[in-house]
Every structure is written in structure tokens, then in C-alpha cells.
Structure 1
Amino acid sequence: MFSYQDYVRTDWVDYNGHMNDSAYANVFSNAVDRFMDFIGLDEDGRTNLSYTIFTLETHLCYLKEAHQDEKLSVSIQLLDIDSKRAHVFFEMKNNNEALLATSEQMLMGMDTQQERPAPFPEQVATEIGKMWDKHKHLEPPKQVGRRICIKK
């Protein structure tokens, strides 16, 4: 199981007395980095494989406030995969398991020597495949696929 742990730092708290929106984005960005480590793309993996992951698109939903020193836990659900992309959904929760925020993202595998998209290296594809086998039958969370608009 993948999980990323963090906490709300003092400098993340804004003039409204809760975690600033940019800090939520930072936590989700750090979760992507830890996810990369989890699937074999840590610093050594990125160097040895000449491969990394870029974030192509992200959609954040802010659901509850997080406050100074509050512990945060981020989990991931794979929504879909192909040979070089992963459509992922992160959930950020607090110690009480309250859902604070979500981040839907499209991640793309990149060959760093050719500077272009490329299929996941075999060992990375294997790790993603193991996770996909556990996630492909899960229902998508209600925040998936949302669009921004003013309902009329």
C-alpha cells in the first residue's frame, strides 16, 4: 500500500488561520515524488533508467480546512493506465480520517535522454501493474472527472 505522511507546517498557515491552498498543492506534489519512489523511480532509478514522470494535468478539490501541526496522510488510487501514462487520484486525510482534499492527476512517463514521452521501464510497469490489479475494480471517487463551471 502506498501512503505519504506529512503535517501542516507553521509557514503553510495563511491569514485565514488554516493551510494555504498552495500548501495543499505542495503536499500532493510531494506525494507524487513518494509515489515515484514507490514504483522504482527514486533518485537512483531515475538516473539508472534515464526516466522520470511529469504531471500533465491536475485538479484539486479543497473539502475541509487543515490547521497548524495537523497530521496529513495521502493515499492513491489508480483510475487508469496505459504504457506511459497513469490517471491517478490522491486523497488527503487527517488523523480522524476526515477527507481534507483530493487531487486528480494525469502523469506521463518521460525518457530523460530523448526528452520525450516513453513507455514505463519494465520494472516500473510491473509495479504499476501490481497496483492496477488491486485498483481496477474500485469505484471512482465522486470528485473524479469534475469540471469547473458556474451551474445555471
Structure 2
Amino acid sequence: MGFRFQQTVPFEWVDYNGHMNDAEYNRAFSQATDAFIDHIGLHGKARSEFAYTIFTLETHTCYLQEMKEGEAFEITSNVLDYDSKRIHLFLSMYNADGELVATLEEMLMGIDVNERRGTPFPEQIEEAIAGMYEQKHDLEKPKQAGRTIGIRRK
């Protein structure tokens, strides 16, 4: 059961360079992350029932190709790792031709909404995360995962 998020680039997301603005890539990835959270079973009703949510701790975006107004894209997910309260998630954005156009690597943490601190995932949510991890954990790590920013010197 793979996760997919689909969208097209609206006019409002296009900047003065005639392509999707960098902030809008992050908006799309944020919307996909919310859909991923729903996909693992932590939808609105479950968040209320468990008094539990997920916060984003860190992100790293790589912009690989331009996207223009009206172009369709799809975002897929890969759970690179997880523990009792964190998910190391990697999202890949593809254009309609199936070309990789951007990636987002992020660390998410499960939060008890009453205590406002990290706590273990509810059992059924952890089982869903484990299932998604098992689907892809043996795949090669994405090239953009774990990157750092810096100028290479010769």
C-alpha cells in the first residue's frame, strides 16, 4: 500500500522566473506530509482520540528541475527509518513524465498534545509506519538523502 499525493502547479505558485517558487515546493511537500500522516491513520478523528499529533523537526529540500504553471506532479514517500516516536521520511516529487523534480528529507516526531512533548506513537500508528518501512527499507538510499550544504573546494 504505497502513498501518493497528486497536484498541479496553480498560477499562484509561479514566481517572476516563470516557474514554481521554492516556497511552493515546500508547500506541496507540507501538504503531502499532512496526507502521509492521514495515510498512516493519524487523521483528524484519530488525533482527537489519541490526543496525539506529529511535528516536523527538520527538513532539507533539493530542487532538481523547474515546474511550470498547470504541470501535474506526484509525490511519493519512503520511510528511511523510524523509532518509537520519530520518522525519518523522504519525499520525492515527479513530473508527469516521471522525472524526479524535487526531494524533501524530513524528521518527524510524535507529540502528546496535552504534554506538548515527544511520546511514542499509538500502537496502530506505529504498525502502519513499520509496514511502510518494511515495503522499502531494502531499497538503495536516495542520492539526496543525508546531504549537507557546502561549497566543494578543489
Q: TM-score, normalising length from structure 1?
A: 0.98
1:19 paired residue number: 20
Tell me the distance in 1 between the aligned counterparts of 2:145 and 2:37. Answer: 22
Structure 1 unaligned regions, length at least 5 = none
2:69 paired residue number: 68
1:94 paired residue number: 95
2:123 paired residue number: 122
1:40 paired residue number: 41
Tell me the distance in 1 between the aligned counterparts of 2:139 and 2:37. Answer: 22
SS of the residue corresponding to residue 67 of structure 2 reads coil
SS of the residue corresponding to residue 33 of structure 1 reads helix
SS of the residue corresponding to residue 30 of structure 1 reads helix
For residue 81 of structure 2, what is the amino acid of its counterpart? Answer: D
Tell me the distance in 1 between the aligned counterparts of 2:135 and 2:99. Answer: 23
Q: CA deviation at 1:91?
A: 0.2
Q: CA deviation at 1:104?
A: 0.5
Identity %: 49
Tell me the distance in 2 between the aligned counterparts of 1:111 and 1:76. Answer: 24
Q: CA deviation at 1:138?
A: 1.2
SS of the residue corresponding to residue 142 of structure 1 reads coil
Please provide the CA RMSD for this pair: 0.6
Tell me the distance in 2 between the aligned counterparts of 1:26 and 1:70. Answer: 16
2:58 paired residue number: 57
Q: CA deviation at 1:132?
A: 1.2
Tell me the distance in 1 between the aligned counterparts of 2:140 and 2:118. Answer: 29
SS of the residue corresponding to residue 45 of structure 1 reads helix
1:9 paired residue number: 10
For residue 140 of structure 2, what is the amino acid of its counterpart? Answer: E
Tell me the distance in 2 between the aligned counterparts of 1:41 and 1:75. Answer: 18
Q: How many residues align?
A: 152
Q: TM-score, normalising length from structure 2?
A: 0.97
Tell me the distance in 2 between the aligned counterparts of 1:110 and 1:134. Answer: 25
1:145 and 2:150 aligned? no
Q: CA deviation at 1:18?
A: 0.3
Q: CA deviation at 1:59?
A: 0.2
Question: For 1:102-121, what aligned pairs fall within 5 Å after superposition?
Answer: 102-121=103-122
Alignment deviations for residues 109-138 of structure 1 (CA, whole Å, 9 cap, x no partner): 101011110000011011111111112111
Tell me the distance in 1 between the aligned counterparts of 2:131 and 2:146. Answer: 24
